[in-house]
Protein backbone atom coordinates (compact mmCIF):
# COMPACT_ATOMS: atom_id res chain seq x y z
CA UNK A 1 0.00 0.00 0.00
CA UNK A 2 1.00 3.62 -0.48
CA UNK A 3 0.38 6.09 2.37
CA UNK A 4 -0.12 9.61 1.03
CA UNK A 5 -1.84 11.24 4.00
CA UNK A 6 1.14 12.48 6.02
CA UNK A 7 -0.49 15.85 6.70
CA UNK A 8 -3.22 14.04 8.65
CA UNK A 9 -0.64 12.12 10.62
CA UNK A 10 2.92 11.06 9.91
CA UNK A 11 4.06 7.48 10.33
CA UNK A 12 5.94 7.66 13.65
CA UNK A 13 9.70 7.19 13.59
CA UNK A 14 10.51 3.80 15.05
CA UNK A 15 13.00 5.55 17.35
CA UNK A 16 10.12 7.66 18.72
CA UNK A 17 8.00 4.57 19.41
CA UNK A 18 10.95 2.88 21.13
CA UNK A 19 11.56 5.96 23.24
CA UNK A 20 7.90 6.12 24.23
CA UNK A 21 7.93 2.47 25.31
CA UNK A 22 11.19 2.83 27.22
CA UNK A 23 10.05 5.93 29.08
CA UNK A 24 6.64 4.43 29.87
CA UNK A 25 8.24 1.61 31.79
CA UNK A 26 11.47 3.15 33.07
CA UNK A 27 10.09 6.57 34.05
CA UNK A 28 6.66 5.71 35.38
CA UNK A 29 6.72 8.29 38.18
CA UNK A 30 4.51 11.34 38.26
CA UNK A 31 6.84 14.29 37.64
CA UNK A 32 5.08 16.20 40.43
CA UNK A 33 5.87 13.51 43.03
CA UNK A 34 8.78 14.20 45.34
CA UNK A 35 10.10 10.64 45.65
CA UNK A 36 12.81 9.24 43.42
CA UNK A 37 10.59 7.81 40.60
CA UNK A 38 8.86 11.19 40.47
CA UNK A 39 12.14 13.09 40.45
CA UNK A 40 13.50 10.86 37.70
CA UNK A 41 10.48 11.62 35.54
CA UNK A 42 10.87 15.34 36.34
CA UNK A 43 14.55 15.29 35.31
CA UNK A 44 13.67 13.61 32.05
CA UNK A 45 10.87 16.08 31.36
CA UNK A 46 13.21 18.99 32.12
CA UNK A 47 15.85 17.62 29.78
CA UNK A 48 13.23 17.25 27.04
CA UNK A 49 12.15 20.83 27.65
CA UNK A 50 15.65 22.24 27.34
CA UNK A 51 16.54 20.12 24.29
CA UNK A 52 13.33 21.00 22.46
CA UNK A 53 13.72 24.67 23.41
CA UNK A 54 17.19 24.76 21.94
CA UNK A 55 16.00 23.06 18.73
CA UNK A 56 13.25 25.66 18.45
CA UNK A 57 15.54 28.56 19.49
CA UNK A 58 13.31 29.56 22.41
CA UNK A 59 13.71 29.50 26.19
CA UNK A 60 12.72 26.32 28.07
CA UNK A 61 10.17 28.17 30.21
CA UNK A 62 8.41 29.28 27.03
CA UNK A 63 7.34 25.70 26.27
CA UNK A 64 4.07 24.40 27.64
CA UNK A 65 3.67 20.69 26.98
CA UNK A 66 0.14 19.60 26.22
CA UNK A 67 -1.76 16.87 24.38
CA UNK A 68 -1.59 18.31 20.87
CA UNK A 69 -2.35 21.29 18.72
CA UNK A 70 -6.11 21.27 19.25
CA UNK A 71 -5.52 21.80 22.93
CA UNK A 72 -2.78 24.39 22.33
CA UNK A 73 -4.97 26.39 19.91
CA UNK A 74 -7.88 26.31 22.34
CA UNK A 75 -5.77 27.37 25.31
CA UNK A 76 -4.22 30.24 23.38
CA UNK A 77 -7.40 31.57 21.77
CA UNK A 78 -9.82 31.09 24.63
CA UNK A 79 -7.56 32.68 27.22
CA UNK A 80 -8.69 36.10 25.94
CA UNK A 81 -11.77 35.29 28.05
CA UNK A 82 -9.66 35.74 31.17
CA UNK A 83 -8.46 39.16 30.04
CA UNK A 84 -11.49 41.08 28.79
CA UNK A 85 -15.20 40.43 28.62
CA UNK A 86 -15.52 42.02 25.18
CA UNK A 87 -13.23 42.91 22.37
CA UNK A 88 -12.30 42.51 18.75
CA UNK A 89 -10.67 39.40 17.32
CA UNK A 90 -9.09 38.83 13.90
CA UNK A 91 -8.73 35.25 12.67
CA UNK A 92 -7.88 33.96 9.22
CA UNK A 93 -10.69 32.14 7.44
CA UNK A 94 -8.34 29.28 6.60
CA UNK A 95 -7.45 28.14 10.12
CA UNK A 96 -7.73 24.47 10.98
CA UNK A 97 -11.01 23.80 12.80
CA UNK A 98 -9.09 23.70 16.11
CA UNK A 99 -8.29 27.37 15.52
CA UNK A 100 -11.52 28.31 13.79
CA UNK A 101 -14.08 26.84 16.17
CA UNK A 102 -12.66 28.60 19.26
CA UNK A 103 -13.00 31.87 17.30
CA UNK A 104 -16.66 31.01 16.59
CA UNK A 105 -17.12 30.35 20.29
CA UNK A 106 -15.64 33.77 21.10
CA UNK A 107 -18.05 35.28 18.61
CA UNK A 108 -21.03 33.57 20.24
CA UNK A 109 -19.84 34.89 23.60
CA UNK A 110 -19.99 38.48 22.46
CA UNK A 111 -16.60 39.16 20.92
CA UNK A 112 -16.57 40.87 17.57
CA UNK A 113 -14.75 38.43 15.30
CA UNK A 114 -13.46 39.26 11.80
CA UNK A 115 -12.56 36.29 9.61
CA UNK A 116 -10.02 37.32 6.97
CA UNK A 117 -10.14 35.56 3.63
CA UNK A 118 -7.03 34.70 1.64
CA UNK A 119 -6.46 35.59 -2.02
CA UNK A 120 -7.03 33.01 -4.74
CA UNK A 121 -3.60 31.52 -4.07
CA UNK A 122 -4.60 30.78 -0.47
CA UNK A 123 -2.44 33.47 1.11
CA UNK A 124 -3.54 35.99 3.74
CA UNK A 125 -2.46 39.57 3.13
CA UNK A 126 -0.72 41.46 5.97
CA UNK A 127 -2.40 44.65 4.69
CA UNK A 128 -5.86 43.08 4.99
CA UNK A 129 -5.08 42.13 8.59
CA UNK A 130 -3.59 45.51 9.50
CA UNK A 131 -6.59 47.32 8.01
CA UNK A 132 -8.90 45.53 10.42
CA UNK A 133 -6.93 46.27 13.58
CA UNK A 134 -8.91 48.45 15.99
CA UNK A 135 -8.32 50.11 19.32
CA UNK A 136 -10.13 47.22 21.06
CA UNK A 137 -8.47 44.37 19.13
CA UNK A 138 -7.29 41.74 21.62
CA UNK A 139 -6.32 38.78 19.47
CA UNK A 140 -5.00 38.00 15.98
CA UNK A 141 -4.53 34.43 14.80
CA UNK A 142 -3.04 33.28 11.49
CA UNK A 143 -1.47 29.89 10.82
CA UNK A 144 2.02 29.48 9.30
CA UNK A 145 1.23 26.72 6.78
CA UNK A 146 -2.24 25.75 5.68
CA UNK A 147 -3.03 22.05 5.97
CA UNK A 148 -5.08 21.83 2.74
CA UNK A 149 -3.10 23.95 0.29
CA UNK A 150 0.35 23.93 1.90
CA UNK A 151 0.41 27.74 1.43
CA UNK A 152 3.00 29.46 3.62
CA UNK A 153 1.52 32.55 5.25
CA UNK A 154 3.53 35.77 5.70
CA UNK A 155 3.24 35.58 9.49
CA UNK A 156 6.28 37.73 10.23
CA UNK A 157 4.94 40.54 8.04
CA UNK A 158 1.50 40.12 9.59
CA UNK A 159 2.92 40.48 13.11
CA UNK A 160 4.92 43.54 12.08
CA UNK A 161 1.91 45.13 10.42
CA UNK A 162 -0.29 44.48 13.47
CA UNK A 163 2.29 45.89 15.90
CA UNK A 164 2.77 48.97 13.73
CA UNK A 165 -0.92 49.81 13.94
CA UNK A 166 -1.41 48.93 17.60
CA UNK A 167 1.34 47.93 20.01
CA UNK A 168 -0.68 47.34 23.13
CA UNK A 169 -2.91 44.46 24.13
CA UNK A 170 -2.90 42.40 20.95
CA UNK A 171 -2.04 38.76 21.43
CA UNK A 172 -0.84 37.19 18.18
CA UNK A 173 -1.20 33.42 17.90
CA UNK A 174 0.13 31.16 15.17
CA UNK A 175 -0.61 27.51 14.42
CA UNK A 176 2.74 26.16 13.17
CA UNK A 177 1.62 22.52 13.05
CA UNK A 178 2.15 21.91 9.34
CA UNK A 179 5.46 23.79 9.29
CA UNK A 180 7.26 22.00 12.12
CA UNK A 181 9.85 19.53 10.98
CA UNK A 182 9.18 20.55 7.36
CA UNK A 183 10.40 24.12 6.85
CA UNK A 184 12.82 26.34 8.76
CA UNK A 185 11.21 29.00 10.92
CA UNK A 186 12.04 30.79 14.13
CA UNK A 187 9.28 31.54 16.63
CA UNK A 188 11.17 34.44 18.19
CA UNK A 189 11.76 36.03 14.78
CA UNK A 190 8.12 35.54 13.82
CA UNK A 191 7.34 37.70 16.84
CA UNK A 192 4.22 35.81 17.88
CA UNK A 193 2.96 35.62 21.47
CA UNK A 194 1.96 31.99 21.18
CA UNK A 195 2.15 29.06 18.77
CA UNK A 196 0.91 25.47 18.57
CA UNK A 197 2.86 22.36 17.61
CA UNK A 198 1.72 18.75 17.31
CA UNK A 199 4.09 15.79 17.69
CA UNK A 200 2.20 13.33 15.49
CA UNK A 201 2.61 15.53 12.42
CA UNK A 202 6.39 15.13 12.33
CA UNK A 203 6.93 11.53 13.39
CA UNK A 204 6.23 11.63 17.11
CA UNK A 205 3.44 9.69 18.76
CA UNK A 206 -0.02 11.09 19.38
CA UNK A 207 -0.79 12.66 22.72
CA UNK A 208 1.94 15.29 22.84
CA UNK A 209 2.09 18.82 21.61
CA UNK A 210 3.51 22.17 22.55
CA UNK A 211 2.03 25.53 23.20
CA UNK A 212 4.81 28.05 22.80
CA UNK A 213 4.11 30.96 25.15
CA UNK A 214 6.42 33.93 24.72
CA UNK A 215 5.44 34.96 28.26
CA UNK A 216 3.12 33.62 30.92
CA UNK A 217 -0.57 34.50 30.97
CA UNK A 218 -3.74 33.40 32.68
CA UNK A 219 -5.65 30.54 31.01
CA UNK A 220 -9.10 29.06 31.41
CA UNK A 221 -8.24 25.61 32.72
CA UNK A 222 -7.50 25.17 36.39
CA UNK A 223 -5.81 22.30 38.16
CA UNK A 224 -2.59 21.30 39.83
CA UNK A 225 -0.47 24.07 38.38
CA UNK A 226 1.69 21.95 36.06
CA UNK A 227 3.38 23.56 33.04
CA UNK A 228 3.49 26.95 34.77
CA UNK A 229 -0.25 26.66 35.39
CA UNK A 230 -0.86 27.13 31.67
CA UNK A 231 -1.70 23.50 31.10
CA UNK A 232 -2.43 21.84 34.41
CA UNK A 233 -2.64 18.04 34.37
CA UNK A 234 -0.08 15.27 34.75
CA UNK A 235 2.45 15.56 31.94
CA UNK A 236 2.65 12.82 29.31
CA UNK A 237 6.36 12.30 29.85
CA UNK A 238 6.71 9.33 27.48
CA UNK A 239 5.02 11.10 24.57
CA UNK A 240 7.07 14.24 25.24
CA UNK A 241 10.28 12.18 25.16
CA UNK A 242 9.13 10.59 21.89
CA UNK A 243 8.41 14.08 20.56
CA UNK A 244 11.97 15.17 21.40
CA UNK A 245 13.33 12.19 19.50
CA UNK A 246 11.07 12.86 16.50
CA UNK A 247 12.01 16.52 16.45
CA UNK A 248 15.73 15.65 16.56
CA UNK A 249 15.39 13.31 13.61
CA UNK A 250 13.08 15.50 11.56
CA UNK A 251 15.30 18.57 12.10
CA UNK A 252 18.44 16.64 11.22
CA UNK A 253 16.84 15.31 8.04
CA UNK A 254 14.75 18.35 7.23
CA UNK A 255 16.71 19.58 4.23
CA UNK A 256 17.17 16.15 2.76
CA UNK A 257 13.49 15.35 3.27
CA UNK A 258 12.46 18.67 1.81
CA UNK A 259 14.49 18.15 -1.37
CA UNK A 260 12.98 14.70 -1.62
CA UNK A 261 9.48 16.14 -1.18
CA UNK A 262 10.18 18.70 -3.92
CA UNK A 263 11.13 15.93 -6.34
CA UNK A 264 8.01 13.95 -5.47
CA UNK A 265 5.78 16.98 -5.88
CA UNK A 266 7.29 17.76 -9.29
CA UNK A 267 6.58 14.22 -10.35
CA UNK A 268 3.01 14.48 -9.06
CA UNK A 269 2.42 17.81 -10.78
CA UNK A 270 3.89 16.59 -14.08
CA UNK A 271 1.87 13.38 -13.99
CA UNK A 272 -1.40 14.99 -12.93
CA UNK A 273 -1.03 17.81 -15.48
CA UNK A 274 -1.36 15.13 -18.15
CA UNK A 275 -4.80 14.11 -16.93
CA UNK A 276 -7.43 16.03 -18.86
CA UNK A 277 -9.72 18.05 -16.59
CA UNK A 278 -7.45 18.00 -13.53
CA UNK A 279 -7.41 21.21 -11.47
CA UNK A 280 -4.71 22.10 -8.96
CA UNK A 281 -5.89 23.82 -5.78
CA UNK A 282 -4.74 26.51 -6.00
CA UNK A 283 -3.63 26.69 -9.62
CA UNK A 284 -0.61 28.82 -8.61
CA UNK A 285 0.85 25.84 -6.77
CA UNK A 286 2.34 24.65 -10.04
CA UNK A 287 4.28 27.90 -10.58
CA UNK A 288 5.08 29.64 -7.30
CA UNK A 289 6.73 26.71 -5.59
CA UNK A 290 8.39 28.77 -2.82
CA UNK A 291 5.02 29.90 -1.48
CA UNK A 292 3.93 26.35 -0.72
CA UNK A 293 5.52 23.56 1.27
CA UNK A 294 6.40 20.66 -1.03
CA UNK A 295 4.75 18.01 1.16
CA UNK A 296 1.13 18.89 0.38
CA UNK A 297 -0.74 18.96 -2.92
CA UNK A 298 -4.49 19.35 -3.35
CA UNK A 299 -6.04 18.50 -6.65
CA UNK A 300 -9.49 18.05 -8.06
CA UNK A 301 -10.85 15.89 -10.87
CA UNK A 302 -14.35 17.25 -11.45
CA UNK A 303 -16.98 15.92 -11.59
CA UNK A 304 -15.62 12.91 -9.66
CA UNK A 305 -16.60 13.46 -5.99
CA UNK A 306 -13.52 13.62 -3.79
CA UNK A 307 -15.06 11.11 -1.43
CA UNK A 308 -15.64 8.59 -4.22
CA UNK A 309 -12.12 8.99 -5.50
CA UNK A 310 -10.74 8.62 -2.01
CA UNK A 311 -12.68 5.36 -1.60
CA UNK A 312 -11.58 3.99 -4.96
CA UNK A 313 -7.98 4.85 -4.12
CA UNK A 314 -8.29 3.35 -0.67
CA UNK A 315 -9.67 0.08 -2.08
CA UNK A 316 -6.62 -0.07 -4.32
CA UNK A 317 -4.26 0.62 -1.39
CA UNK A 318 -3.56 4.33 -1.95
CA UNK A 319 -4.35 6.47 1.07
CA UNK A 320 -5.15 10.14 0.53
CA UNK A 321 -7.68 12.43 2.17
CA UNK A 322 -10.54 14.60 1.02
CA UNK A 323 -10.28 18.24 2.05
CA UNK A 324 -9.06 18.34 5.61
CA UNK A 325 -8.86 14.82 7.03
CA UNK A 326 -9.67 15.85 10.58
CA UNK A 327 -13.03 17.22 9.51
CA UNK A 328 -13.70 15.13 6.43
CA UNK A 329 -16.36 13.16 8.26
CA UNK A 330 -18.38 16.35 8.26
CA UNK A 331 -19.04 15.94 4.50
CA UNK A 332 -19.06 19.61 3.74
CA UNK A 333 -17.15 21.29 1.01
CA UNK A 334 -13.92 22.66 2.36
CA UNK A 335 -14.22 25.96 4.22
CA UNK A 336 -10.67 26.79 3.14
CA UNK A 337 -11.47 26.30 -0.54
CA UNK A 338 -14.65 28.35 -0.08
CA UNK A 339 -12.66 31.19 1.43
CA UNK A 340 -10.28 31.08 -1.54
CA UNK A 341 -13.21 31.53 -3.89
CA UNK A 342 -12.89 28.06 -5.41
CA UNK A 343 -16.18 26.89 -6.90
CA UNK A 344 -18.24 24.19 -5.18
CA UNK A 345 -17.90 22.02 -8.28
CA UNK A 346 -14.12 21.96 -7.98
CA UNK A 347 -13.94 21.88 -4.21
CA UNK A 348 -16.42 18.96 -4.08
CA UNK A 349 -13.91 16.90 -6.05
CA UNK A 350 -10.82 17.83 -4.06
CA UNK A 351 -8.40 15.32 -2.66
CA UNK A 352 -5.24 16.07 -0.70
CA UNK A 353 -2.06 14.15 -1.41
CA UNK A 354 0.65 14.55 1.22
CA UNK A 355 4.05 12.88 1.31
CA UNK A 356 6.54 12.14 4.06
CA UNK A 357 9.97 10.72 4.82
CA UNK A 358 9.01 7.18 3.81
CA UNK A 359 7.33 8.06 0.51
CA UNK A 360 9.37 6.78 -2.44
CA UNK A 361 9.48 7.78 -6.10
CA UNK A 362 8.16 4.30 -6.89
CA UNK A 363 5.12 5.04 -4.69
CA UNK A 364 4.40 8.15 -6.74
CA UNK A 365 4.89 6.34 -10.05
CA UNK A 366 2.50 3.62 -8.96
CA UNK A 367 -0.05 6.17 -7.74
CA UNK A 368 0.16 8.15 -10.97
CA UNK A 369 -0.19 5.03 -13.09
CA UNK A 370 -3.34 4.12 -11.18
CA UNK A 371 -5.03 7.51 -11.38
CA UNK A 372 -4.13 8.01 -15.04
CA UNK A 373 -5.97 4.79 -15.78
CA UNK A 374 -8.94 5.24 -13.43
CA UNK A 375 -9.72 8.96 -13.52
CA UNK A 376 -10.97 9.13 -17.13
CA UNK A 377 -13.33 6.21 -16.38
CA UNK A 378 -14.56 7.78 -13.14
CA UNK A 379 -15.08 11.10 -14.91
CA UNK A 380 -17.21 9.38 -17.53
CA UNK A 381 -19.34 7.67 -14.89
CA UNK A 382 -19.75 10.86 -12.82
CA UNK A 383 -20.77 12.98 -15.78
N1 LIG B 1 -3.62 22.59 13.14
C2 LIG B 1 -3.37 22.12 11.92
C3 LIG B 1 -2.92 23.04 10.85
C4 LIG B 1 -3.56 20.75 11.65
O5 LIG B 1 -3.32 20.28 10.42
C6 LIG B 1 -4.00 19.91 12.69
C7 LIG B 1 -4.27 18.47 12.44
O8 LIG B 1 -4.93 18.10 11.50
C9 LIG B 1 -4.24 20.45 13.95
C10 LIG B 1 -4.04 21.80 14.15
C11 LIG B 1 -4.73 19.61 15.12
O12 LIG B 1 -3.65 18.95 15.70
P13 LIG B 1 -3.86 17.78 16.78
O14 LIG B 1 -4.20 16.56 16.01
O15 LIG B 1 -2.53 17.68 17.46
O16 LIG B 1 -4.91 18.21 17.72
Distance (angstroms) between ligand 1 centre and the Cα of 200 equals 9
- The atom of ligand 1 lying closest to the CA of 325 is 8
* Ligand 1 atom nearest 98 alpha carbon: 10
Give pLDDT, residue 166.
78
Mean pLDDT of the chain: 95
* Residue ranges of domains in the chain, CATH in brackets: 2-10+253-382 (3.90.1150.10), 14-251 (3.40.640.10)
Question: Residue 331: its pLDDT value, please?
Answer: 55
User: Given this model, what pLDDT does residue 254 score?
Assistant: 97
pLDDT of residue 168: 75
124 CA from centroid of ligand 1 (Å): 19
* pLDDT of 129 over the 50 cut: yes
Q: Whose CA is nearest to atom 13 of ligand 1?
A: 69
Ligand 1 centre to CA of 369 (Å) is 31
Task: Using the atom order of ligand 1, give the atom closest to the CA of residue 198.
Answer: 15
Position 323 scores a pLDDT of 67
Task: Please report the atom of ligand 1 found closest to the CA of residue 324.
Answer: 8
- Å from CA of 325 to ligand 1 middle: 10
Which residues are part of the catalytic machinery? 326
Q: Determine the distance separating the centroid of ligand 1 and the alpha carbon of 372, expressed in angstroms.
A: 31
Give me the interface pTM, i.e. the ipTM.
Answer: 0.99
**Residue owning the nearest CA to atom 9 of ligand 1:** 69
Contacts of 300 (CB under 8 A, 6+ apart): 278, 279, 280, 281, 306, 346, 347, 349, 350, 351
Ligand 1 is surrounded, with C-beta below 6 A, by 68-70, 96, 98, 143, 147, 175, 177-178, 198, 209, 326
Average pLDDT over residues 230-251: 98
Mean pLDDT of 278-301: 95
pLDDT over 90 at 333, yes or no: no
The closest residue, in CA terms, to atom 10 on ligand 1 is: 69
Q: Whose CA is nearest to atom 16 of ligand 1?
A: 70
Amino acid sequence: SVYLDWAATAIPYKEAIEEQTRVCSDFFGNPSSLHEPGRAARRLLDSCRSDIASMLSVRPEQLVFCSGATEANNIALLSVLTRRKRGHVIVSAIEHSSGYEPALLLSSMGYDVDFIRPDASGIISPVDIANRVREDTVLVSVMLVNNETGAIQPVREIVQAVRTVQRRNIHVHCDVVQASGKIAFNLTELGVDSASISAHKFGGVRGAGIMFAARQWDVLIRGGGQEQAMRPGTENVAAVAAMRRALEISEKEREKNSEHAIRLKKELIDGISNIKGAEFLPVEVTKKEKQYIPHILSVSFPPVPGEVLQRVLSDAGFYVSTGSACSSRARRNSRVMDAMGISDRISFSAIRISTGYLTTEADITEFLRFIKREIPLLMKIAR
